[in-house]
Amino acid sequence: MPRTIAISSQKGGVGKTTTTANLAAAWSNMGTRVLAIDIDPQFALTRAFGAAPSQAPATVLDVMAGQAEVPDALVTVREGLSLLVAHRDLAKLELTLVAQTKREEFLARALSDYLDRWDLVLIDCPPNLGLLTVNALFAARDVIVPVSMLDPGAYQGAGEIRATIARLQEQDVDVRVTALIRTFADARRVTHQTIDGSLEQLGVPIARSQIPLRAEFNNAMAAGRPLVWARPDSAGALAYVKLADELAESVKRLRAVA
């Protein structure tokens, strides 16, 4: 079975989609077979790879609604990297899931027959703890939580994700926080120093690799290419490559002792 990782934060604007896109790009560059899944109705990850819901054969909305199978909805971004695109009507699906039996498991069930096609599955979640995010947490075994070092609210958002995962673990759901990722990092700033001094209080692993504050990330996202591909020698791209190496080892180590 592949490793399935949800990238999640209760707080928007923390670099969640940038992290998903660049980790997917970095891991695919290493020869890993990657499936990236966008379940955010704003479909930012879809746009980060230069794709559009209207151009895809089907979307993750169709897959979760039982109107398409995973292989029929895949978009090939490049060799070794496939994408399930999002659709803005995911927000409507989330409302209908409330009345469904086992509403937390729709995504996991839709993926279950096809996961052996990939080595790694990354799920980009909405910036909230609604049913779409909960579906991602049920489908994943590991969770990466980006924390913006510019925004004290991101610390609180990380704490809420940790608490949600703790409740799922109490229900015997096999999921855990693999790492907090420090994004928009600039150690010269007081905000960075304040947040950094508080992270250990959350009681979850913190990645050593930090993602620097760089305008080049926005430029690459606007062009529909992760920075790892657009400017592979840039400081931001190299930071994500380093993070990808570190996280690969972290997931293996944590699962070995689970």
Contacts of 94 (CB under 8 A, 6+ apart): 41, 130, 131, 132
Mean local confidence (pLDDT), 67-91? 94
Residue 218 lies in a domain: yes
42 domain-assigned:
yes
**Closest residue by Cα to residue 191 from 156, 246, 231, 150:** 150
Residue 171 CB-density burial (10 A; 0-12 exposed, 13-18 middle, 19+ buried):
exposed
pLDDT digit string, tens, across residues 185-233 = 999 999 999 999 999 999 999 999 999 999 999 899 889 999 999 999 9
Domain count, the chain: 1
Per the model's pLDDT, the better-predicted residue between 97 and 40 turns out to be 40
Average pLDDT, the chain: 90
Q: What mean pLDDT do residues 141-157 have?
A: 92
Burial 39-62 (b: 16+ CB within 10 A, else e): bbbbbbbbbbbebebeebebbbbb
- pLDDT at 47 (0 to 100): 95
pLDDT at 158 over 70: yes
pLDDT at 257 over 80: no
CATH of the domain at 187: 3.40.50.300
What pLDDT was estimated at residue 182? 97
Stretch 173-177: mean pLDDT: 88
Give Cα 69 distance to the centre of its chain: 22
Q: Model confidence over 98-143: pLDDT tens digits?
A: 666 577 888 999 999 999 999 999 999 999 888 899 999 999 989 9
Confidence tier at 251 by pLDDT (50, 70, 90): low
| Assigned domain for 258 exists | no
* pLDDT exceeds cutoff 70 at 33: yes
Supply the pTM of this predicted model: 0.93
Residues above pLDDT 90, as percent of the chain: 71
Averaged pLDDT for residues 52-80: 93
Domain span at residue 142 reads 3-252
* Highest-pLDDT range among 1-5, 14-18, 98-102: 14-18
In this structure, is residue 257 part of a structural domain?
A: no
94 part of a folded domain? yes
Distance CA(63)–CA(93), nearest Å, equals 11
Amino acid 68: pLDDT = 94
Q: Please check whether residue 18 lies inside any domain of the structure.
A: yes
Burial of 21 (0-12, 13-18, 19+ CB in 10 A): buried
Name the nearest CA neighbour of 120 among 7, 10, 236, 257: 7
CA atoms of 234 and 170, how far apart (whole Å): 42
Residue type, 173: V
**What is the average pLDDT across 4-10?**
93
Q: Looking at residue 254, what is its pLDDT?
A: 44
- Provide the H-helix boundaries in 151-225: 152-170, 190-196, 216-222
